[in-house]
Amino acid sequence: MTRADYPEPVKALVGELKRLPGVGPRSAERIAIWLLQHPKADPLSLATSLQEAKAAILSCPTCGFFATLEHCGICDDPKREQSVLCVVEQATDVLPLERSGAFRGRYHCLGGKLSPLDRVSPEDLRIPSLLKRIDDSEHELEVILALGSDVEGEATSNYLADLLRGRACSITRIAQGLPAGGGLDHADELTLMRALEGRRAF
């Protein structure tokens, strides 16, 4: 007698699901069984979505955000301010900024941040296209650096600021300080230091 196991196609599906971020072996098994057994599950519809998204979605060659073959929702929007360019690390950083409602310009996604440990150097980031956008711009640009406040984000901001100084653009960066809704007792020392350094007239 051999110990019973799931048939091969189930095991293959579990193997694929296990590779997804945040999905461990147990969840992968639970999801696979649910997909194959639950009356509300529709594995073929998920398969189609995967194939369609994979076929239709690419990086916008201008800004790096998600675009379809025909269209980038941001670069192709004539109502966006042409004089402000917000530099972010990842395409996924765009939507949180959009949801804040505080920005009406365009974006430039670097595709990462400088990180010698992960072997990410300036050549790996979309920096040449950023310089080209600034040089080709018809407007005097404000370039807002909206990178993370971790060590790599800071290093990338500094690197870009050095690179952009002397070009026909002004450079700003987003503020660091106390997060909304947080008391001083929950903030760490570095956050408080930066909140103090960034104080403004009331």
Nearest CB to a copy of itself, comparing residues 5 and 138? 5
CB atoms within 10 A of CB 84: 18
Shortest reach from residue 38's CB to a copy of itself, in Å: 8
CB atoms within 10 A of CB 145: 18
Nearest CB to a copy of itself, comparing residues 67 and 171? 67
Residue 120 dihedral angles phi and psi, to the nearest 5°: -100, 110
Find, among 133, 148, 135, 126, the residue nearest to 64 by Cα.
126
Distance CA 83, CA 143 (A): 9
Shortest reach from residue 163's CB to a copy of itself, in Å: 25
Binding-residue pattern over the window 46 to 65 for a copy of itself, x denoting contact by CB under 8 A: xxxxxxxxxxxx-------x
Distance CA 5, CA 36 (A): 16
CB-based burial of residue 119 (10 Å sphere; 0-12 exposed, 13-18 middle, 19+ buried)?
exposed
Q: Does 148 bind a copy of itself (CB under 8 A)?
A: no
Binding-residue pattern over the window 102 to 141 for a copy of itself, x denoting contact by CB under 8 A: --x-------------------------------------
Site for a copy of itself in 24-43 (CB under 8 A): 27, 30-37, 40-43
Nearest CB to a copy of itself, comparing residues 81 and 162? 81
CB atoms within 10 A of CB 21: 4
Nearest CB to a copy of itself, comparing residues 95 and 192? 95
Find, among 33, 35, 54, 57, the residue nearest to 45 by Cα.
35
Nearest CB to a copy of itself, comparing residues 94 and 145? 94
For a copy of itself, the binding residues (CB under 8 A) are 1-10, 12-13, 15-17, 19-23, 27, 30-37, 40-57, 65-68, 71, 73-74, 77, 79-80, 91-92, 94-95, 98-99, 101, 104
